[in-house]
Amino acid sequence: MKAESSGTPLETQLRNCSAPVWIQLGQAFDGENVNKDFHLVYSEREILYAGEQTPPAELVKSGQQDADLLLPNHTVMPGLIEAHAHLFLAGAERDPSVRAETLKLDAEILLAQAEARLPRLLRAGIIAVRDAGDKDGVGLALQARYRSNRGVPMPYVDSPGPAIHHKGRYGKFMGEDMEALGGMEAAVADRVQRGAYRIKLLATGIINFEKGAVTTQPQMSAEELVAAATAAKGYGKQTMVHCSGHSGADNCIAAKVDTIEHGFFMDRDQLAQMRDRNMAWVPTFAPVQFQLDAPECIGWSSQVCANLRRIIDAHSRLLQAAAELGVCVIAGSDAGSHGVPHAHGFFDELEQMERAGYPTLSILQSATSRSVERLGFDQAMGRLKKGYLPRFILSDRPLLDSVRHLRSGATVVFDGHIFSGGDDAGQPGM
The Cα–Cα gap between 68 and 71 comes to 10
Q: Report the phi/psi class of residue 15: left, alpha or beta, with left for phi > 0 and alpha for psi in -120 to 50.
A: alpha
Candidates 99, 34, 89; CA nearest to 398 is 34
Domains and CATH numbers, the chain: 10-77+390-420 (2.30.40.10), 80-375 (3.20.20.140)
In sequence order, which residues have a C-beta less than 8 Å from that of residue 2 and are 6 or more positions away?
A: 66, 70
User: With contact defined as beta carbons under 8 Å apart, do 94 and 294 qualify?
Assistant: yes
Please give the average per-residue pLDDT across 112-120, as a whole number.
97
**pLDDT per residue over 25-39, tens digit each?**
999 999 999 999 999
Indicate the pairing of strand 411-414 with strand 417-420. antiparallel
Percent of the chain with pLDDT over 70: 98
From residue 183, alpha-carbon distances to 133, 154, 197, 228, 323 in Å are 19, 36, 20, 10, 38
Grade residue 276 by pLDDT with cuts at 50, 70 and 90.
very high
Per-residue pLDDT for 8 more than 70?
no
- Reduce the secondary structure of 316-347 to three states and give it as a string: HHHHHHHHHHCCEECCCCCECECCCCCCHHHH
Phi, psi of 275 (to 5 degrees): -60, -45
* Angle separating helix axes 246-255 and 222-234, nearest 10 degrees: 40
**pLDDT per residue over 203-242, tens digit each?**
999 999 999 999 999 999 999 999 999 999 999 999 999 9
The Cα–Cα gap between 155 and 48 comes to 21
In sequence order, which residues have a C-beta less than 8 Å from that of residue 68 and are 6 or more positions away?
A: 17, 21, 22, 23
The Cα–Cα gap between 245 and 118 comes to 33
User: With contact defined as beta carbons under 8 Å apart, do 77 and 397 qualify?
Assistant: no
**pLDDT per residue over 377-430, tens digit each?**
999 999 999 999 999 999 999 999 999 999 988 999 999 999 987 899 889 999
User: With contact defined as beta carbons under 8 Å apart, do 270 and 254 qualify?
Assistant: no
pLDDT on residue 185: 98
Which one-letter amino acid corresponds to residue 79?
Answer: G
pLDDT on residue 2: 37
Strand blocks (E) in 6-61: 21-29, 34-42, 47-51
Q: C-alpha 76: how far from its chain's center?
A: 19
Per-residue pLDDT for 7 more than 50?
no
Please give the average per-residue pLDDT across 56-84, as a whole number.
97
Per-residue pLDDT for 309 more than 60?
yes
**pLDDT per residue over 130-156, tens digit each?**
999 999 999 999 999 999 977 789 999
In sequence order, which residues have a C-beta less than 8 Å from that of residue 53 and are 6 or more positions away?
A: 39
pLDDT on residue 6: 40
